[in-house]
């Protein structure tokens, strides 16, 4: 868009003010570049996103076939033996694990033999990337701002307010693409933005977190998080 405006300005100045054909033609050239830049911006990323979508479709089918429909519990890396923040999809009662979870897709945890699925989410990648540069700390607001705004640049701002049983997070101007559409994955993991926020919250607080709800309000995504008790 900047190139289009620059090109139009150059053309106008060249034609109207300077009466110079070289400047006019340079403006026209910049306009042609601006058209390609404006239309083509992000198109490779969109293609890559479409190519990666079948993976999430498989996850949706897996969740459907197992009848897993309850909200995922986002766990910090300290809850797993492999030291990665993950989402635990409980197949029965949504209770946080009382043991450190081993690596694998399915896991049994808790005293009553609860079972669940271990999923690596967009939040897993976000936390890994942010933790590697020291953008995460014990303060939730600072961690979210450092990670989402300053390091990953996938949002324009984050505001955190304390609620009765957790936190309400408002993400302003989220640029996270919708990577799994409106499938069962969304109702289990939440939107990609909410998933990332929940993972960062779990890691920052060191406690399991559940997304209680989310809504879009204007350009903001409002996410309500519930913090569960401490586990292992």
Partner 1 sequence: MVLRRLLITQLVIYTVAIAFLAYLGVNDFAIYISLVTLAYLATILAYSPLPPKARTAANIVAAVLVAVFLYFAVIRILQILGVSL
Closer to partner 1 by Cβ: residue 42 or 137: 42
Binding span for partner 1 by CB under 8 A among 38-46, 108-116, 117-125, 143-151: 38-46
Among 1, 43, 138, 229, binds partner 1 (CB under 8 A): 43
Q: 186 CB contacts (<8 Å, ≥6 apart)?
A: 180
Our finding on whether 37 is near partner 1 (CB under 8 A) is: yes
Closer to partner 1 by Cβ: residue 41 or 81: 41
Q: Which residue is associated with the tokens 């498989």?
A: 58
Our finding on whether 32 is near partner 1 (CB under 8 A) is: yes
Our finding on whether 26 is near partner 1 (CB under 8 A) is: yes
Our finding on whether 41 is near partner 1 (CB under 8 A) is: yes
Our finding on whether 40 is near partner 1 (CB under 8 A) is: yes
Binding span for partner 1 by CB under 8 A among 41-49, 109-117, 126-134, 186-194: 41-49
CA distance 156 to 172: 6
Give the nearest distance from C-beta 25 to partner 1 in angstroms: 4
Among 18, 29, 57, 103, binds partner 1 (CB under 8 A): 29
Distances (CA, A) of 105 to 10, 89, 108: 59, 10, 10
**Size of the residue set binding partner 1 (CB under 8 A):** 21
Our finding on whether 4 is near partner 1 (CB under 8 A) is: no
Among 39, 51, 105, 153, binds partner 1 (CB under 8 A): 39
Our finding on whether 10 is near partner 1 (CB under 8 A) is: no
Per-residue b/e over 161-179, b at no fewer than 16 CB within 10 Å? Answer: eeeeebbbbbbeebebeeb
CA distance 131 to 159: 20
* Backbone torsions φ then ψ of 166, nearest 5 degrees: 180, -130
3-state secondary structure of 217: strand
Pairing of strands 114-119, 106-109: antiparallel
Distances (CA, A) of 188 to 62, 63, 113, 121: 12, 9, 21, 11
Among 12, 25, 69, 133, binds partner 1 (CB under 8 A): 25
Residue 110: CB atoms within 10 Å: 17
210-229 positions binding partner 1, by CB under 8 A: none
CA distance 124 to 83: 11
Our finding on whether 22 is near partner 1 (CB under 8 A) is: yes
Footprint of partner 1 (CB under 8 A): 3, 21-22, 24-26, 28-30, 32-33, 35-41, 43-44, 47
């Amino acid at each position: 868009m900047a190139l289009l405006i620059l090109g139009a300005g150059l053309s106008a100045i060249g034609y109207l003010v300077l009466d110079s054909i070289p400047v006019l033609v340079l403006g026209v050239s910049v306009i042609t570049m601006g058209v390609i830049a404006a239309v083509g911006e992000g198109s490779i990323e969109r293609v890559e996103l479409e190519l990666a979508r079948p993976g999430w479709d498989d996850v949706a089918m897996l969740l459907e076939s197992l009848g897993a429909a309850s909200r995922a519990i986002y766990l910090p890396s300290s809850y797993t033996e492999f030291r990665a923040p993950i989402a635990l999809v409980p197949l029965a009662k949504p209770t946080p694990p009382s043991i450190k979870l081993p690596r694998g897709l399915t896991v049994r945890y808790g005293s009553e033999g609860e079972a669940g699925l271990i999923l690596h989410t967009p939040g897993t990648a976000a936390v890994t990337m942010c933790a590697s540069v020291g953008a995460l700390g014990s303060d939730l607001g600072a961690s979210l701002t450092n990670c989402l705004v300053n390091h990953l640049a996938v949002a324009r701002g984050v505001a955190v307010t304390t609620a009765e049983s957790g936190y309400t997070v408002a993400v302003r101007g989220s640029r996270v693409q919708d990577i799994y559409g409106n499938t069962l994955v969304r109702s289990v993991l939440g939107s990609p933005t909410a998933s990332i926020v929940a993972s960062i919250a779990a890691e920052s607080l060191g406690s399991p977190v559940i997304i209680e709800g989310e809504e879009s309000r204007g350009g903001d995504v409002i996410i309500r998080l519930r913090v569960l008790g401490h586990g292992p």
